[in-house]
Structures are given as structure tokens and as C-alpha cells.
Amino acid sequence: MYPITLDQLTVFLTVAEQGSFSAAARSLRRAQSAVSYAIANLERLLEVELFDRAGRTPRLTDAGRSLLADARTVVSQVELLSARAKGIAGGIEPELALVVDMMFPTSILTLALRAFLEEFPTVSLRLYTEGLGAVSQHVLTGTCSLGISGPMLTSSPKLARVPLLQIQMRTVVASTHPLATHDAPIGTADLRDQIQIVLTDRSPLTAGVDAGVLANRTWRVADLHTKHALLVEGFGWGNMPLHLVAEDLQAGRLRSIHPVEFGEEFTMPISLLYRASTPPGVAGGWLRDTLLALCGDFHERASSLVE
């Protein structure tokens, strides 16, 4: 038994799409007899009739309709295989693994990834969301080739850094929280007696290293969504990216407070990380440059969110 060929499946799809053997022949620039021959051979190999030829134009049989989606899948996968192989031969990575700090604006990330998909449709993507030292750890261990990281609590000569942007931060409490009545800068002594909501560092790389933790009592959470919810409900105070709390501040659900330790306004530097010994490939380098371009005006736009 001869194997089914990609050409036979392509002819099958073309006849189904064009509605007739003659139209398919014109589309494929072949003789109509060649199209009929390919379909007849495919039917023989599949042992089913794909088209009912009783009328003026061929119509898909029930079997033909059932197998049409399978044929499309096979042809699509072969085309994808060919495109990926060409990309790899041209130096394009078959897969890109990216780890992103949860503080990084999702709006920038989705814009970058949409452009990435259009530019590199055959490159697979693995996306991780982490915080604190876990971003650096993913890059150092080789799990990810690129990382978008906040401040590095420990330095490593194995990591190269490219500054992306400064994220504006705010120290916030619920409008019902005792600290919400403080208009003047708040001393550390006043903050120590209140619960501080902080992120848990899940990385052994920086385990036990606290940054910006002032309170004697802390509630530690694993993600910003939970932290935000606890802050809005008045469980404590904490630092949040301005772009994530701007609406809450405008609506009065949260209020900014001003710890002397941080100043009235402060920022968090965000950088792109990669292993110094393994710089980004074609796709990774393109994504790096796109992120740099998109981050260019974010600081200015964020500063106008809350005045």
C-alpha cells in the first residue's frame, strides 16, 4: 500500500474549498485529469468515497466531511514543521522561555507578545510569572532564556542586565485603615505596629533577604492579586505599583501614605536579564528590542494616572 501524500491531501482540500474539480485545477494550475487522478488515488488509499460525483458538481460525502478537518490539520502541521525548520536554519529559536516579574505592567507585556506572535508565528513560548529573586533564579538555572526582573537583591556576574523602565510605586492603605488619616510623612515607629502585607520570596537564591519590610508583623502572600485584595479590605499597609492601584486611589478605596523611609514617591527599576554566556538569539533579541521601545513612554504615562 502506497502512503498517503501531502499533495493528495492538498488537492482534497482545494477541491472542497473551490467546489469543483475544474476550479481546483485552475487554482492549482494543473490539468483537471491530474486533480481527478489524485482524488481517486486518495479515495482508494482511504477506502472511502470523499466526493459524490452524481451531480453537476462534486459534493462532499459524509466521510469526506468527517475527514476534511483531519486533512486540514495534517497539512497545517506539515506547513508549520517546514516553517519552523526554515526558522531554525536561519538562527531563530524554536522556543522562547520568558519569566516576568509580577510587578511588570501587563499592558506592555501583551503588546510585546502580540507583536512577537506576528513576527515569529512558529516560535513556541513558555511564560512564567514570578516575584523577587525567583526571576533571576529561572534565568540562572537555564529554565528561561530571558527574564524581566525587579531590583536584584543579590548580584551575579553570570547575569547581564538591560534597564527597561522605572515603575512608580505607592505605599497604600484602605480608606478605613487607621493609617489613612495620616497626611504628613509617617515615621517607621508608627508603621511597625501595623501589619505590613508583603510578597513571599519563593527563591532560595534570595531567601531571607527582605527589602522594604519595616513592620514587626507581616502577612506574606505569593501574588499581587491577593496582596491587593488584602490591602483594599484594610488588613494592613503595603507597597504597590501605581498602575495597579490608580483606579482604587481615584475611587477612594485606597489612600496613599508617605513613610519617611520611602519618601513621598519612589520607583522600582525593572530590567531585562539573560545569562551573560548565552545572549538572546534572533527571536529573543527582537523581543528585547521591542520591550525597550514599548517601555520608553510608560513612566510618563503612569505619572499622570494619579495627581
247: helix, strand or coil: helix
Gap between the Cα atoms of 231 and 228, Å rounded: 5
Q: Nearest Cα to 274, choosing from 123, 119, 96, 121?
A: 96
Residue-level pLDDT at 2: 65
The CA-atom distances, in angstroms, between 272 and each of 94, 161, 196, 302 are 21, 6, 29, 20
The dihedral region occupied by 91, where left means phi > 0, alpha psi between -120 and 50, and beta the remainder, is left
* Backbone dihedral angles phi then psi of residue 70, each to the nearest 5 degrees: -65, -40
Q: Which CATH architecture has domain 6-89?
A: Orthogonal Bundle (1.10)
The pLDDT, as a whole number, for residue 87 is 58
d(CA 307, CA 300) in angstroms, rounded, equals 12
Indicate the domain borders of the chain: 6-89, 94-307
SS3 category, 193: coil
- Neighbour count for residue 72 (Cβ, 10 Å): 15
Q: How many CA atoms lie within 13 A of 62 on its CB side?
A: 0
Determine the Cα–Cα distance for residues 191 and 265; give it in Å rounded to an integer: 17
Residues near 123 by Cβ (< 8 Å), separated by ≥ 6?
A: 84, 87, 92, 93, 94, 95, 96, 116, 283
Beta bridge partners of 124: 95
Q: Which fold has domain 94-307?
A: D-Maltodextrin-Binding Protein; domain 2 (3.40.190)
pLDDT for position 307: 43
**Residue-by-residue pLDDT tens, the chain, 307 positions:** 568 888 889 898 888 888 888 888 888 889 988 888 888 888 888 888 998 888 888 888 989 888 988 888 888 888 777 766 765 666 678 889 999 998 899 999 999 999 999 999 888 899 998 887 888 888 888 899 999 988 865 667 788 888 999 988 888 999 888 888 877 787 887 788 888 888 877 665 555 556 667 777 888 888 889 999 999 999 988 889 998 999 999 999 999 888 887 766 788 889 999 888 788 888 999 999 999 989 876 655 544 544 4
pLDDT computed for residue 89 by the predictor: 65
Cell of 229: 485584595
Given a contact cutoff of 8 angstroms between Cβ atoms, the answer to whether 172 and 245 are in contact is: yes
User: What was the pLDDT predicted at 306?
Assistant: 45
Measured CA to CA, the distance from residue 102 to residue 225 in angstroms comes to 10
